[in-house]
Amino acid sequence: MFYAGAMYNNAFYSYFRLQSFSLGLSFTEIALKSLQLITMPVLAVMTVMVIMPRLPQALASLGLSERITRSAQQVGTEIARRHLLFVLAGLCLMAFWPYVQPFGWTAPVTVAFGLLMGLFTPGDQKPWQRGVSLTMAALLLVWAAGMAAGQQGRAAAERTADHLVSRTAVVVLSTDRLSMPGSPGPLVEDLGKDQHYRYRYSQLRLLVQRDQRYYALPLGWHHHTGPTYVIVDDDNLRIELYPGTQPPR
C-alpha cells in the first residue's frame, strides 16, 4: 500500500514540479492514497484471479450439476497447462513497451497470471519452484500496482489543473512587495503606504498546505510554463483562504 501511495503522490506532485517526499507527508497519508486503486475494473480482475483456480469448487458449492462442474474443471486445467502462453504474451507486451502505454501495467499482470496458473498444473512441483513463481508473481503485481497508481496520480493532477478555479482561493497580504514572477502570475494590488499589509496578491489557488507552507498556483496555470509558488507564512504575511469559484452546472 505504501509503494502504490508513494507512486500516486509522486506522479501527482511532480506534475506541479514538487517532490512529494519534501512535503513531509506521513506514512498513513501516503498509504491511504493507494485506495485510489480500488476501482471496479481492478476489483473484477482481482476477483477473477482469486476465483479461477478454485472455480470448480465454487460451482459445486452453488449446487450446479456435476457435468458443469467437470467441464469447468477441464477448462481450468487446460488454461493451467497453457500458462506459459500467458507468460510469453506478457513478455511480448514488455518488448513492445512504448506501444502499449498507458496500459503497460497489463504486461506484468499477464505474466503474473501465467505464473500463478502454473501452480495448478498437473504434476508435482518442487517447493523451490513454487516459491520462485509466487515471489515473481508478487513482485510483478506490486510493479503493476505502482504503474497504475502513477497513472492515476498523473490523471488526477491533470484534472486539478483543468479545474483549478474551483480549488480554495489564496490571498496573500504582505508588508513588503513579494517577488512572484511568472506568466500567468497573481494579481498584485498596492493598498497604500498607510496599511500595515500594503500589498495584496490574489487570483491564486491552493494546491496543498504543509507546515506553514502554502503551495499555490495562479489562475491560468499551464503545466509547461506556469509557476508553482511556495509561500512561507511568517510575521510579514497574512494568508487568507476563500472558497474557490464553482463552475456552472
Domain identity same for 145 and 206: no
Domain identity same for 6 and 127: yes
The tens digit of pLDDT for each residue in 128-169 reads: 777 888 899 889 888 888 888 888 889 999 999 999 999 999
What does the mean pLDDT of the chain come to? 82
Domain identity same for 191 and 225: yes
Domain identity same for 151 and 177: no
Q: What percent of the chain has pLDDT over 90?
A: 28
Q: What are phi and psi of 17, to 5 degrees?
A: 65, 40
Domain identity same for 7 and 110: yes
Any domain includes 109: yes
| pLDDT score for 13 | 92
**89/247 Cα distance (integer angstroms):** 45
Q: What are phi and psi of 239, to 5 degrees?
A: -100, 125
Which spans in 36-105 are helix H? Answer: 40-51, 55-61, 66-81, 83-95
Any domain includes 210: yes
Range of the domain at 13: 2-38+82-161
Closest CA to 101 of 148, 53, 153: 148
Any domain includes 51: no
Any domain includes 54: no
Domain identity same for 117 and 131: yes
Domain identity same for 87 and 191: no
Any domain includes 211: yes
At 212, the pLDDT band (50, 70, 90 cuts) reads confident
Domains in the chain, number = 2
Any domain includes 138: yes
Domain identity same for 21 and 140: yes
Taking a C-beta distance cutoff of 8 angstroms, is the pair 143, 202 a contact? no
**230/24 Cα distance (integer angstroms):** 14
Is pTM beyond 0.85 here?
A: no
The stretch 38-55 carries a mean pLDDT of 64
Which single residue is written with the C-alpha cell 471496479?
A: 40
The tens digit of pLDDT for each residue in 26-44 reads: 778 777 777 766 665 666 6
The tens digit of pLDDT for each residue in 63-78 reads: 666 676 677 666 666 7
Any domain includes 72: no
Domain identity same for 109 and 186: no
The dihedral through the CA atoms of 16, 17, 18, 19 has a sign that is positive
